[in-house]
Amino acid sequence: MDTDFLFINVENQAIGPRAIQDRLRIYGKVTGVCNEVTVSPHAFRRTFCRLKVEAGTNIFVLQRLSGHQSLEILKRYVEIYGKDLEAAIEKGFESL
């Protein structure tokens, strides 16, 4: 394919953020997943970050993977997992 976009339509054009949100909402309803968890790009990103923190991923690697500009924003983003993230941040600073 001749594109750098991750999500494209049949004309090889980028699919916009709203279309992706809509599709996820539809798929969540069709599969019934939305009855158990939130189905949205934001929820997926938050879950990705949480799972990576739990797996011990280097916090600086996670920052790049998630696209967060600062560790403070990343910390707020996964605040409900603050103890794990706080420990990961401290461990990251120790390795500098």
Instruction: Report the pLDDT value the prediction gives residue 69, as an integer from 0 to 100.
Output: 86
Determine the Cα–Cα distance for residues 45 and 40; give it in Å rounded to an integer.
Answer: 9
How buried is 95 (Cβ within 10 angstroms: 0-12 exposed, 13-18 middle, 19+ buried)?
exposed
pLDDT band of 59, cuts 50, 70, 90: confident
Instruction: Taking residues 15-28, report their average pLDDT.
Output: 93
At residue 57, the 3 state secondary structure works out as: coil
CA angle 56, 34, 72 (to 5 degrees): 35
What value does the mean pLDDT take over residues 14-40? 93
Q: Mean pLDDT in the chain?
A: 82
14 φ, ψ (degrees, to nearest 5): -60, 140
Q: Is the pLDDT of residue 24 over 90?
A: yes
Q: What is the pTM of this model?
A: 0.65
| pLDDT (0 to 100) of residue 15 | 92
